Amino acid sequence: MIIKVIGFSYSTNTLRVLSCLNELGIPYQLDAPANFAVTKEEDYLANKHPFGKIPVLYDGDYKIAESRAICRYLVSKYQGKYNNTILIPNDIHEAGLVEEFISYEAFYYEPPASKIVYYELFLKTPESEIVKQALKEINKVLDVFDKLLEGKEYLNGGFSLADLFYCPCAYYIYSTHADLWDKRPNVKKWLDRLRNRDAWKMSLEKKNKL
């Protein structure tokens, strides 16, 4: 039975899941709700996501929500089944480092990055104080990452689930703030590698307009 993803293809969280599916070579079907209002309806809250969010993934009768949890589930069940891509290494120490970089993404990078995406591109308020503060924060975060990426192609040396998690927000922010990456040589090379991966390009092919 083919995997089904409920979500909007332009959503950063949905793009994160689609990219993981494509990296692992997993066949899937993307079903977009009619509109955002659907995600707040009683049936959706009761049966898909209690907080009215996307994406939600169905693997047969099994349902799981939250993009990072979905990706971890997909790796646990399907890594190595459809191709040779390894997103979480079998070595426990290497896997721990991947999780470390995923935590950096969730707690230091994503909070300011998601604000920039939401307020600039969705609400169309690029001059808001929230965006200005988020840009200051993301500058500090990327300074750290430029040091962490010194001498490496990817965060953990080889491409992993950690790298994949950073790409959706970066994709949107780069369109208006390319200098954030371009003025940091290690970060720029890293982002270029991520954007040129076939799985990421496949994910963008499903992306509809904002």
pLDDT at 34: 84
**Whole-prediction pTM value?**
0.95
Contact 181, 142 (CB under 8 A): yes
Provide CB contacts within 8 A for 155, sequence distance 6+: 101, 145, 148, 149, 162, 163, 190
Coil vs helix vs strand at 56: strand
pLDDT at 210: 42
Q: For residue 119, what pLDDT is reported?
A: 95
Phi first, then psi: what are they for 81, rounded to 5°?
A: -80, -40
Mean pLDDT by 10 residues, the chain (210 residues): 93 97 97 92 96 97 98 98 97 97 97 96 91 97 98 96 97 95 97 96 74
Please, what is the angle between helix 161-174 and helix 12-24, to 10°? 140
Q: What angle do helix axes 12-24 and 67-78 make, rounded to 10 degrees? A: 10
pLDDT at position 86 = 97
Domains recognised in the chain with CATH numbers: 3-85 (3.40.30.10), 92-199 (1.20.1050.10)
